[in-house]
C-alpha cells in the first residue's frame, strides 16, 4: 500500500504532568521534543504498519527542520518538499487529564503549487491535512496535489483537523478537492455540513463511526492522546477500521504523536 500525505512536519514539544499546573510555581513533568505535524504523523504510523509512506511539505532550513526531517526518515518515511524558512513548533501540554496546545506552524503553511513534483503523488492514497487547505498558498498546493494523485488513480482523503478552520472558503476548497474519504470529529463534521464523501467520525473515548456503524475504542492505557486520530487514519488505510483503532490505542499509550 502506497500512501502520500501532504501538510506539516513540525517539532512537537510534549509536556505531561500528572497533576494540574501550579500557576506561578514549578510543576514536575515529563517533557520530550519529538517530530510531529498531522500529515507527518499519519505517514510515520503508516510506515510502522508496513506501508510505503511519503510525506510532502515545507519545513525550515534550521536545526529543528534538520532534526524532524532526519527523525521522520528514520521511521521509514520518504520526506519530500522544499526546505526554507523556519520550522513550526507545537507545544502540547497535558496536565490533570486536560490537554492544551500552542501552535506555530512556521514555513509549513507556505508551500506553493509550483514546488510540487507530480511523481510524489504516484500513490494509492493521498491524505491531506485540513491545516493545509485552511489558508493560501498551501490550499492551492493541496488542490494541485489532489489533481496529480487522481491522475495516478489514487483515492484522496482529508482530515478536517479543527472545526475552527472551517469557513466558507474552506468549504469551497474542500468541494474542489472532492475527497473520497473524510476524517472528522462530530463537531468538525457538523461545521463542514453536507459533502459527497465517505465519513470516518472520531468520537474520542466513544470510538469511531464509519459508514453509520459505531465501533468502540481498543482497550489500552491513556498516557497522551496527541496524534491518536492520525494513528487511526494510518491504520485505517493499511488494515481497516480495527487496525486503525489498535494504532490509536498504541499511540495513546505513549508520549508523542509518532510510533
Q: What are the two backbone dihedrals, phi and then psi, of residue 249, each rounded to the nearest 5 degrees?
A: -65, -40
What is the rounded distance in angstroms from the CA atom of residue 7 to the CA atom of residue 108?
A: 7
pLDDT score, position 33: 86
**Which structural domains are found in the chain, ordered by start?**
2-9+37-89+105-252 (3.40.1190.20)
Which residue of the set 8, 12, 159, 230 is catalytic? Answer: 230
pLDDT tens, position by position, for the chain (259 residues)?
999 999 999 998 888 787 777 778 788 887 888 888 999 999 999 999 999 999 999 999 999 999 999 999 999 999 999 999 999 998 878 787 777 878 888 899 999 999 999 999 999 999 999 999 999 999 999 999 999 999 999 999 999 999 999 999 999 999 999 999 999 999 999 999 989 999 999 998 899 999 889 999 998 888 878 789 999 999 999 999 999 999 999 999 987 789 8
pLDDT score, position 256: 76
Q: Are strands 213-215 and 208-210 parallel, antiparallel or unpaired?
A: antiparallel
Retrieve residue 41's grid coordinates. Answer: 504523523
pLDDT score, position 168: 96
Question: What's 241's DSSP letter?
Answer: H
pLDDT score, position 128: 98
DSSP class per residue in 103-163: EEEEGGGG--GGG--GGGG-SSEEEEEGGGGTSTTHHHHHHHHHHHHHHTT-EEEEE---G
Order of strands across the sheet with 181-185? 78-80, 52-56, 2-6, 125-129, 155-159, 181-185, 198-202, 208-210, 213-215
Mark whether 230 is an active-site residue: yes
Find out whether 96 and 20 touch, Cβ atoms under 8 Å.
Answer: yes
What is the rounded distance in angstroms from the CA atom of residue 130 to the CA atom of residue 17?
A: 29
Amino acid at each position: 500500500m502506497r500512501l502520500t500525505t501532504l501538510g506539516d512536519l513540525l517539532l512537537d514539544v510534549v509536556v505531561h504532568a500528572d497533576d494540574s499546573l501550579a500557576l506561578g510555581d514549578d510543576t514536575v513533568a515529563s517533557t520530550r521534543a519529538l517530530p510531529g505535524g498531522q500529515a507527518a504523523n499519519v505517514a510515520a504510523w503508516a510506515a510502522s504498519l508496513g506501508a510505503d509512506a511519503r510525506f510532502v511539505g515545507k519545513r525550515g532550513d534550521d536545526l529543528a527542520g534538520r532534526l524532524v526531517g532526519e527523525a521522520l526518515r528514520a521511521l521509514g518515511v520518504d520526506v519530500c518538499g522544499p526546505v526554507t524558512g523556519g520550522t513550526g513548533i507545537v507545544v502540547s501540554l497535558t496536565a490533570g487529564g486536560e490537554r492544551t496546545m500552542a501552535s506555530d506552524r512556521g514555513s509549513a503553511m507556505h508551500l506553493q503549487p509550483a514546488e510540487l513534483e507530480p511523481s510524489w503523488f504516484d500513490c494509492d492514497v493521498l491524505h491531506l491535512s485540513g491545516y493545509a487547505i485552511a489558508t493560501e498558498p498551501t490550499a492551492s498546493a493541496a488542490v494541485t496535489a489532489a489533481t496529480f494523485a487522481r491522475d495516478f488513480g489514487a483515492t484522496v482523503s482529508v482530515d478536517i483537523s479543527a472545526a475552527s478552520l472551517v469557513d466558507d472558503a474552506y468549504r469551497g476548497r474542500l468541494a474542489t478537492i472532492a475527497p473520497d474519504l473524510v476524517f472528522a470529529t462530530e463537531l468538525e463534521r457538523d461545521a463542514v455540513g453536507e459533502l459527497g464523501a465517505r465519513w470516518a467520525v472520531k468520537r474520542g473515548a466513544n470510538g469511531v463511526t464509519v459508514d453509520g456503524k459505531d465501533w468502540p475504542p481498543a482497550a489500552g492505557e491513556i498516557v497522551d492522546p496527541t496524534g491518536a486520530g492520525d494513528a487511526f487514519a494510518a491504520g485505517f488505510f493499511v488494515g481497516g477500521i480495527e487496525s486503525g483503532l489498535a494504532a490509536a490505542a498504541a499511540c495513546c499509550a505513549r508520549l508523542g504523536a509518532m510510533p
